[in-house]
Structure 1
Amino acid sequence: MNERKSTIVNIGSLSIGGPNPIAIQSMTTTDTRNVKDTVAQIRRLENAGCQIVRVAVPDVEAAKAIGSIKKQISIPLVADIHFDYNLALIAMQEGIDKLRINPGNIGSRKRVQMVTEMAKEKNIPIRIGVNAGSLDHRILEHFGGATAEALVESALEHVRLLEADNFDQIVLSLKASSLDVMVEAYRQISSKVPYPLHLGVTEAGNHEIGTLKSAIGIGALLLDGIGDTIRVSLTADPVLEIEAGKKILRVLGLLKDRIQIISCPTCGRCQIDLIELARQIENNLISKEKNLTVAIMGCAVNGPGEAREADIGIAGGKGCALLFKKGQVIRKIPENRIVEELLEEIDNF
């Protein structure tokens, strides 16, 4: 896996970029003006493992609710603002941890300067969020559509406005629903600016297809060493976004405090009910915070080899399984005891 070194940006108590781990974030679906419901949803997201949460700020009432929300949550809060610089100023006065606003869309240079001056004073970073569905017509005409190059140029134009005010606490996102456009845009921008990158596929879809698209797009970039924080955008309960994000990082080995599971697809050689065993084992391990690799293999063809590569695992036999630990066979387990004994060994590992 390659490694791109980005600058470090502090979002409240959390730092992204540089050597910091990839942060997982989401966005609330509640009306931000409804503080009670918004706080309740954020707490659900916190419990699921969300590290940064964003709220929509469509008007002054929503901006003024930020202070009350902040007092009742423990993760950094981001204000999502479009066009109205005044909402950004109110959000910062209310204690927001980060702004998501595009400086080129808020009017005059004076307005941009008012935002950057307060952001510098309060040490609040700004995410420039470029989206393929809302590019300026001038850029669309120049590049012949919402291409990767168009996304990059839009992002750079916004960056120049902030840099003109000596503002460098910048995070960038270049999102598209087209995977090839999204991946190429991030690859291009990563070599042009040092700022942390927020990865995501916009309008990805429902839980199933959206998770799949996001895993492909986000995963490809993370394998390139590109990306500092991720959001899996789903037309679903936002808690599912966090679960999907954790799964992506877990599969790539980037979530160090979670168990990695290796399991085979089974075939006609398998003589135990591996599908049901794997389901039970995975369900029991999903919330455990251990840095372990567990192998769940169906037979003696690839099983022993894969199990030896794992910290602990099983390889199926006829109505039984061999338990391996650090490459060594520990004992044989009857099929009706596999789940119980493997979980016990993992707990004691």
Structure 2
Amino acid sequence: MIEFCESLERYVRRATDPVRVGCTVIGGENPVAVQSMTNTDTLDTEGCVAQIGRIVEAGGPVVRLTAPGRREGENLRAIRDALEVQGLWPGRVALVADIHFTPEVAMIAAGYVDKVRINPGNYNDEDGGKLRALIARCRERGVALRIGVNHGSLSPRMVDRWGDTPRGMVESAMEMLRTCRAEGFADVVVSMKSSNVRVMVHAYRMLAAAMRAEGMRYPLHLGVTEAGDGADGRVKSAVGIGALLADGLGDTIRVSLTEPPENEIPVALELTGYFAERAGHEPVEPIEDASSYSPCEYRRRETDPVGRVGGANVPLLYGELDGEELSAVSDGRIVLLESGNRNPVADWRARILNLSARGDRRPVILRRRYRESSLLRLQVRAAADFGPLFIDGLADGILIENDGGAASPEELRELALGILQAARVRMSKTEYIACPGCGRTLYDLQKTLAAIRSRTSHLKGLKIGVMGCIVNGPGEMADADYGYVGSGRGRVTLYKGREVVRRAIPQEEALDALVDLIREGGDWTEPER
């Protein structure tokens, strides 16, 4: 097993060197910082300033803005100056420029903001001169750098060598990190984002191990990109981010929701607050043999099925068990594993790995009881607790109980199914891979996602990408079966998988055209009346 964290049995934060980003310090002994991103046009100074103010008031001290071109890059100065007049910058908010395509714009933005996020896929020059020039510019002003790797936008060179894989993501990041270290530039944060939670978790763990092997202590920025909205977006984010925070990985997080950006902050604060309580948790059973654990690739624990539980069967909800399966729980042929430990991930994982080490092939159903009166808190905590065990293939069933009145039986059922779907072990509903929107977005994402959901939510197991612009689509929705991508003002391009099917059609026709495309692909069923 690769060494990606300090301990599988104790909650210990990964040791990192602190990086100052304006008024916020990321990494070191500092609490995990939360952040968000504007979805206003970066040329709209007034709109950006107002939205940044709402994010700060919600509790987000770091805000990112897109700068797709020179004009947007230059306008970051006007936004910064307006925030300074209002007393928000530099003391209450750190500004980050998001540069996806153009290294030239990164150089401009570095003159005005506290951190610049770049995509390694756009720094492909053989001698690394573009990156070194940006490092020099950042060093000059005390600006931090985020190396932001996205699963769907690796360089052709990396894809040719490693494929569209977590390994390719890690190699892409490590190549740039080695250049930063060679230049003596330490103000670097790294991210490894994907809309596929399993890919995202594996990539971060693999990166942490690679940095550990080379003595690198750069902080990690965590996030599940294109998580969607509502309960699904919150659960999906909590499963992915929680799986990493549980093992001490992560120094700053962003929960990406297709909603007003200030809505992301309460979810992020719930997550960071939950893990802040974890230090000094009750002892966990020592792991006898961890050789069966595969943290960087999905491998289902081998069990002997009992009825529909275990073996190759999809994980079940406890309420779905029939009489014989319930009897098997009662007599111990199926293990009902409850945890009251403040570190349930480590507790469950150790006990299950020890079962395997002893040759015990009984299926395992996880059980945990909460006492939450807040539905959001219940969603976040349950997703962060149960999700990692299913990402790792260690469990065969799930039982969430709550005594605090936060959720009805149906809401508990939907929460459990959402956790299993986020972990990619059981698809029970339509999944929307929807970006949160930014200044590049070419249509009303929230309204459009709601309209698409109203027509397609009955298509269980189908994955539909809803992307605001060509930057996020098709790359970031590479996992989707169908895609709806903004390709111009009032224009939408439709995809089947990664293939363009209809290009630049009027938006008023696009939803009907998407439904027709799903019909033509043989994936349409009529909703039940």
TM-score by length of 1: 0.71
- Structure 1 unaligned residues grouped into runs of 5+: 257-261, 266-277, 283-294, 299-349
Is residue 86 of structure 2 the alignment partner of residue 67 of structure 1? no
Counting matched residue pairs gives 267
Q: Which residue pairs with 1:8 in the alignment?
A: 18
Q: Which residue pairs with 2:254 in the alignment?
A: 231
1:21-40 alignment, distance < 5 Å: 21-40=31-50
Q: Which residue pairs with 1:214 in the alignment?
A: 237
Q: Which residue pairs with 1:120 in the alignment?
A: 139
1:215-260 per-residue CA deviation (whole Å, 9 max, x = no partner) reads 011111111000000000111111111111112123334599xxxx
**Pick from 179, 203, 222: which aligns with 1:161?**
179
Cα offset, 1:206, TM superposition: 1.6
Structure 1 residues 254, 230: CA separation in 2 closer, same or farther (over 3 Å shift)?
farther
**Alpha-carbon separation, structure 2, partners of 1:122 and 1:166:** 15
**Pick from 273, 276, 280: which aligns with 1:250?**
273
- Which amino acid is 1:141 matched to? D
Cα offset, 1:264, TM superposition: 3.4
Cα offset, 1:296, TM superposition: 7.6
Quick check: 1:199–1:227 contact (8 Å CA) kept in 2? yes
**Alpha-carbon separation, structure 2, partners of 1:128 and 1:253:** 26
- Structure 1 segments (4+ residues) deviating >4 Å: 295-298
1:266-305 per-residue CA deviation (whole Å, 9 max, x = no partner) reads xxxxxxxxxxxx469x9xxxxxxxxxxxx9868xxxxxxx
1:185-228 per-residue CA deviation (whole Å, 9 max, x = no partner) reads 11121133210000001111123211101101111111100000
- Which amino acid is 1:213 matched to? K
Quick check: 2:120–2:155 contact (8 Å CA) kept in 1? no
Q: Which residue pairs with 1:264 in the alignment?
A: 371
1:180-199 alignment, distance < 5 Å: 180-193=198-211, 194-199=217-222
Cα offset, 1:83, TM superposition: 3.1
Q: Which residue pairs with 2:97 in the alignment?
A: 79
SS of match in other structure, 1:65: helix
Q: Percent identity?
A: 42
- Which amino acid is 1:14 matched to? T
Cα offset, 1:2, TM superposition: 2.2
Name which of structure 1's ranges 76-85 and 105-114 shifts more when overlaid on structure 2: 105-114
Quick check: 2:120–2:172 contact (8 Å CA) kept in 1? no
**Alpha-carbon separation, structure 2, partners of 1:118 and 1:181:** 33
SS of match in other structure, 1:26: strand
SS of match in other structure, 1:191: helix
**Alpha-carbon separation, structure 2, partners of 1:129 and 1:215:** 20
Structure 1 residues 297, 84: CA separation in 2 closer, same or farther (over 3 Å shift)?
closer
Is residue 90 of structure 2 the alignment partner of residue 90 of structure 1? no
Cα offset, 1:140, TM superposition: 2.3
Task: Give me the CA root mean square deviation.
Answer: 2.6
**Alpha-carbon separation, structure 1, partners of 2:275 and 2:260:** 24
SS of match in other structure, 1:149: helix
Quick check: 1:82–1:102 contact (8 Å CA) kept in 2? yes
Structure 1 residues 178, 215: CA separation in 2 closer, same or farther (over 3 Å shift)?
same
- Which amino acid is 2:227 matched to? A
Q: Which residue pairs with 1:105 in the alignment?
A: 122
1:120-165 per-residue CA deviation (whole Å, 9 max, x = no partner) reads 111111100001011123322333x432212111111222233332
Is residue 153 of structure 2 the alignment partner of residue 129 of structure 1? no
Q: Which residue pairs with 1:44 in the alignment?
A: 54
SS of match in other structure, 2:210: coil
Quick check: 1:27–1:55 contact (8 Å CA) kept in 2? yes
Cα offset, 1:28, TM superposition: 0.4
- Which amino acid is 1:6 matched to? T
- Structure 2 unaligned residues grouped into runs of 5+: 1-10, 212-216, 280-368, 378-401, 406-529
Q: Which residue pairs with 1:19 in the alignment?
A: 29
The answer to which structure, 1 or 2, has the higher relative contact order (CA under 8 A, 6+ apart) is 2
Quick check: 2:145–2:189 contact (8 Å CA) kept in 1? yes
Cα offset, 1:263, TM superposition: 5.7
**Alpha-carbon separation, structure 1, partners of 2:268 and 2:371:** 23
Structure 1 residues 296, 175: CA separation in 2 closer, same or farther (over 3 Å shift)?
same
Structure 1 residues 238, 13: CA separation in 2 closer, same or farther (over 3 Å shift)?
same
Cα offset, 1:70, TM superposition: 1.5
**Alpha-carbon separation, structure 1, partners of 2:110 and 2:150:** 24
**Alpha-carbon separation, structure 1, partners of 2:160 and 2:169:** 13
Quick check: 1:32–1:55 contact (8 Å CA) kept in 2? yes
1:245-324 alignment, distance < 5 Å: 245-253=268-276, 264=371, 278=373
